[in-house]
């Protein structure tokens, strides 16, 4: 991949007085090395290509400002800088993908106009407590990964109407995770958020179909509309006492493991567990004494594992012998 140094003199051809489009080869990356480079990028209304900010791009100003650019077709990345405090991209509306990582003192991220991105990765943002994504915020994203931040809210992201995957983990102050999306074709993995206060609460009130769902360390999980999970629906090390999916009819696999407070599972409409690597596993849930919430389950393809101190019914009467 070619790397181009992006400095103000290099964009002398840009007319700031009029809407400007700037581009490089689609396989190349423009590297921002100082505030002048950021100012040159801001002079472009639409930028075709990838943009990477290097350590020191904020210089002594501790601020990176690219207000002016509205669309970046490639990846916008900013990694491994312990000097930038503010990243201001308030005019940016769409970006091919957005990657921010190991920006240890970044405390203000302003993207109040952003509505669409490909993959979004926020990792190692140890000073970022909130997002400034505007209202309603992002509506479309690829795979979303947010891990090892101090975010206390997903405001600006939780209004997504289209997302391919959603992984939120190891954010100690993030107590509530809610998403209004109806379908997620890829992987959802939620865990290890707000652990010191009993784990995150998860609400997907409108989610109907998903590829794979995994929940860990949750104090509650609400999936009232869920009807179809093509791969595994898994619950591990959670602290809720009850789990209900009243509209679920099909899952590639069902797994409940090490949920120490669980006493009740209700999946009354589930008829089929039939994934490529499907399993029906309920194991080591200390307080769960019966398995009787699967009244209509009649077709299971894959492993069957019930492990626990069951004192009453393990209802598998609808399964073929």
Tally of CB atoms within 10 A around 261: 14
Q: What's the rounded Cα separation, in Å, for the pair 204 and 207?
A: 6
What pLDDT does residue 216 have? 98
Sheet holding 63-65, edge to edge: 63-65, 86-88, 108-110
How many Å separate Cα 199 from the centre of its chain?
Answer: 17
pLDDT tens digits, residue range 273-284? 998 878 999 999
H or E element that contains 240: none
State the burial class of residue 149 (Cβ atoms within 10 Å of its Cβ: 0-12, 13-18, 19+): buried
Q: Which residues pair with 267 in a beta bridge?
A: none
Mean pLDDT, the chain, integer: 90
The answer to whether 179 and 158 are in contact (CB under 8 A) is yes
Q: What's the rounded Cα separation, in Å, for the pair 287 and 152?
A: 31
pLDDT tens digits, residue range 159-168? 999 999 999 9
What pLDDT does residue 59 have? 74
Least confident of 25-34, 40-49, 82-91, 205-214: 25-34
Q: What's the rounded Cα separation, in Å, for the pair 34 and 212?
A: 42
Q: DSSP of 259-282, one letter per residue? A: -TT--EEE-TT--EE--TT-EEEE
**Nearest in space to 315 (alpha carbons), one of 279, 259, 265:** 265
pTM attached to this predicted model: 0.91
């Amino acid at each position: 991949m070619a790397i181009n140094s992006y400095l103000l003199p290099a964009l002398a051809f840009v007319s700031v007085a009029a809407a400007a489009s700037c581009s490089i080869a689609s396989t190349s990356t423009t590297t921002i090395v100082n505030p002048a480079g950021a100012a040159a990028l801001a002079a472009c209304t639409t930028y075709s290509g990838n943009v990477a900010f290097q350590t020191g791009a904020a210089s002594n100003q501790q601020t990176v400002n690219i207000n002016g650019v509205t669309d970046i077709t490639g990846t916008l990345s900013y990694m491994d800088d312990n000097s930038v405090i503010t990243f201001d991209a308030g005019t940016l509306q769409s970006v091919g993908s957005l990657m921010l990582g190991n920006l240890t003192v970044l405390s203000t991220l302003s993207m109040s106009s952003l509505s669409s991105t490909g993959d979004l990765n926020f990792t190692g943002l140890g000073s970022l407590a909130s997002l400034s994504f505007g209202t309603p915020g992002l509506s479309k994203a690829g795979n979303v990964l947010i891990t090892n931040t101090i975010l206390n809210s997903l405001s600006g992201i939780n209004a997504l109407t289209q997302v391919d995957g959603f992984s939120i983990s190891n954010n100690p102050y993030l107590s509530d995770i809610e998403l209004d999306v109806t379908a997620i074709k890829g992987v959802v993995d939620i865990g290890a958020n707000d652990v010191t206060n009993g784990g995150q609460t998860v609400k997907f009130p409108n989610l109907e179909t998903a590829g794979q769902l995994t929940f860990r360390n949750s104090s509650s999980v609400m999936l009232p509309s869920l009807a179809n999970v093509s791969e595994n629906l898994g619950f591990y090390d959670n602290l809720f006492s009850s789990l209900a999916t009243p509209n679920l009819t099909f899952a590639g696999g069902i797994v409940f493991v090490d949920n120490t407070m669980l006493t009740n599972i209700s999946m009354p409409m589930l008829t089929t567990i039939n994934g490529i690597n499907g399993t029906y596993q309920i194991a080591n849930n200390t307080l769960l004494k019966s398995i009787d919430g699967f009244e209509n389950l009649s077709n299971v393809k894959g492993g069957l594992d019930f492990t626990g101190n069951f004192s009453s019914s393990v209802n598998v009467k609808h399964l073929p012998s």
